[in-house]
Amino acid sequence: MKKSFLIFFYILLMIIGFYNKDLLIHWINDNNASYLPLMLALSILFATIPIIPFTLFAGIMGTKYGIILGFVINWFGGVSAAIFYYLLARYLFADYFKKHTPRFKKINKFNESMKDHAFLAVLIGRLISIIPPTAIHIYSAMNHIPFLKYLLATSVGQIPIMFMLAFGGNQIFAHPLIFIAGIGLYSLFLLGVFFIYRYYFKNKVKFI
């Protein structure tokens, strides 16, 4: 039921967007700074509760405000959502998550890695999306990773993906060849991080 509702909702959004495309294009081209507080708030909302896919929103921010400012908006929303989930899981719903998460075996391996490599586990998890971001939020809180360590690993780890989302939105239509080159470089970066992960965790905890 939930998936069916989401599919229906996304289709409805696309229909609304299609019939209001001229207004939408005008709004995207209008990079008035007065919208920034609202965009920052929406970035937090969509990163926390994906009413619309955050990837879509992040790409639009890159189109509307350019790569740098679009990246800042996306990064701010992603880090804010990570803080929200961490605090929620640690102080309000800790018992609930401890009861329901053990069945996820692959995620539990991430949990094991946090015992001795908390910062690296969170950082690498953010960089290459080994497991869903929400799971990283929750398990970080459940393992009582110090908030500042979690925040630093999250803040650094989300830089590449948030930058690429803004870059992609800014370049995909204007300079498709540059966009493709950027995706290629980013893929090589992810591959490099993955091999680093495999090297450090090979004899300790395997995520996959």
- Name the pTM for this structure: 0.78
Other beta carbons within 10 angstroms of residue 59's beta carbon come to 21
**Residue 70 in domain:** no
Other beta carbons within 10 angstroms of residue 54's beta carbon come to 22
The answer on 181 and 85 residing in a single domain is yes
**Residue 47 in domain:** no
pLDDT band at residue 95 under the 50/70/90 scheme = low
In angstroms and rounded to an integer, the radius of gyration of the C-alpha atoms of the chain is: 18
Task: Assess whether pLDDT exceeds 50 at residue 94.
Answer: yes
**Residue-range definition of the domain harbouring residue 113:** 79-201
Total of domains in the chain? 2
* Predicted confidence (pLDDT) per residue in 9-30, tens digit: 556 666 665 555 566 666 666 6
CB neighbour class for 103 (10 Å; exposed up to 12, middle 13-18, buried from 19): exposed
**Residue 49 in domain:** no
pLDDT band at residue 177 under the 50/70/90 scheme = confident
**Residue 194 in domain:** yes
**Residue 146 in domain:** yes
Of the candidates 189, 141, 140, 138, the one whose C-alpha atom is nearest the C-alpha of residue 163 is 189
pLDDT band at residue 208 under the 50/70/90 scheme = very low
Other beta carbons within 10 angstroms of residue 183's beta carbon come to 15
pLDDT band at residue 1 under the 50/70/90 scheme = very low
d(CA 200, CA 123): 13
Amino acid present at 11:
I
pLDDT at 206: 47
Q: Which residue has the higher pLDDT, 69 or 129?
A: 69
Percent of the chain with pLDDT over 90: 19
Q: Which residue has the higher pLDDT, 100 or 208?
A: 100
pLDDT at 33: 74
The answer on 87 and 24 residing in a single domain is no
The arithmetic mean of pLDDT across residues 184-198, rounded, is: 80
Angstrom CA distances, 143 to 9, 132, 200, stand at 36, 17, 20
